[in-house]
Amino acid sequence: MAKSLIFITSLLLLLIPSMVTATSSLRYETPFDQSIWETTSSPLSCTLSQTIDYYGKAEFVRLAGRDIYLKLITDQGGPSGGKARLVTLPSAWQHKLEGRDLGRVRYKGGKDPFRFSQLQVRRVLASLEQGLRPALHFHNRSSGVDKVEVVLSAVNFRAGMENFRRCMAGLIPLDYQSASNTNILFGNRGAKLDKASKRRLNAIAQFVKADKDIKRVTVEGYSDNIGSRGSNYALSRERALSVRQYLLARGVPASMIEFEYFGEHKPAYSNRTKKGRLLNRRVEVRLKKAF
């Protein structure tokens, strides 16, 4: 009996360290046969996402006029701060390939805690296209776990990426900040729109129609101080009218457009220089949202 107790005690002592090791690390990865990459599309944003079982979701996001960024959203409490390590792991069928270190990643807590650099985002996308599995390693001792590993599956990634690329090709080439603060410039004594101005106004019209939060478009005409005040006042009106008419022809409702003109008043730059006068021969287009 004593020998049996000694044997059982010794066995438990051997098992306890392995039990602690097993419970002090966690891996989150979607099973091979459940890996799906989904794309959501609009003229303003594209998202390519994968649900990670029991952890949350990975999302590649491209907004109109912006670069792609990666979000690793967690459904549970994450680390409060520090650094994580981003690596790539070979898939089961890639026996001859080795993993690669993609560098450190900052994290600050919250539901979207990780901050990936643009280079890391591009490398993660390239790795997934090659069939590799990007993985993020970090510590979360506050929850009793020493090491956490979150892994993205490459299964079915290429089909999702193809849809994601199609969406990105159709994005409006401006972000809201650029679209909502535009100056259309004109030649000396002119009120005709050039090709670059038309391209810009095309994108603005697309943005207005796609973003339902935009409620007002202001169009304000200006001139430099060359010529009489009366003629400059009339010229600024012609310029504002040309922009207004172009936006109307591209589907922006007349009820949304506020139209004004100020001649040589309110110069944005000094009229004493050639460059200043060029920048003052403008129509300011501003988009306003309802808050």
Q: How many residues does the chain have?
A: 291
Residue 278: which CATH number? 3.30.1330.60
pLDDT at residue 230 in the model? 95
Do both 241 and 136 map to the same domain?
Answer: no
Do both 35 and 99 map to the same domain?
Answer: yes
Do both 153 and 255 map to the same domain?
Answer: no
* Residue 2: inside a domain: no
Residues 243, 218: contact at Cβ < 8 Å? no
Encode pLDDT of 16-73 as tens digits: 333 334 447 789 999 988 999 999 999 999 999 999 999 999 999 999 999 999 999 9
Residues 61, 168: contact at Cβ < 8 Å? no
Encode pLDDT of 174-208 as tens digits: 999 999 999 999 998 889 999 999 999 999 999 99
pLDDT at residue 79 in the model? 59
Among residues 169, 185, 211, which one ends one of the domains?
169
Do both 55 and 161 map to the same domain?
Answer: yes
Do both 193 and 271 map to the same domain?
Answer: yes
* Helix residue spans in the chain (DSSP H): 2-23, 118-129, 157-169, 176-179, 195-210, 229-249, 274-280
Do both 103 and 32 map to the same domain?
Answer: yes
When pLDDT is cut at 50, 70 and 90, the band that residue 11 belongs to is very low
pLDDT at residue 92 in the model? 73
Measured in degrees and rounded to the nearest 5, phi and psi for residue 52 equal -110, 115
Do both 39 and 149 map to the same domain?
Answer: yes
Proportion of the chain above pLDDT 90, given as a percent: 73
Do both 37 and 126 map to the same domain?
Answer: yes
Cα separation, 158 vs 181, whole angstroms? 37
Cα separation, 35 vs 154, whole angstroms? 8
The whole domain housing 185 covers: 176-289
- The DSSP string of 97-116 is ---EEEEEEEE--SSS-EE-
Do both 142 and 221 map to the same domain?
Answer: no
Whole-model pTM over 0.85:
no
Give the range among 45-54, 78-87, 215-224, 241-250 with minimum mean pLDDT.
78-87
Do both 103 and 72 map to the same domain?
Answer: yes
Mean pLDDT of 249-254: 97
**Angle subtended at Cα 105 by Cα 99 and Cα 106, rounded to the nearest 5 degrees:** 165
Cα separation, 165 vs 89, whole angstroms? 24
Do both 242 and 120 map to the same domain?
Answer: no
The structural domain count of the chain equals 2
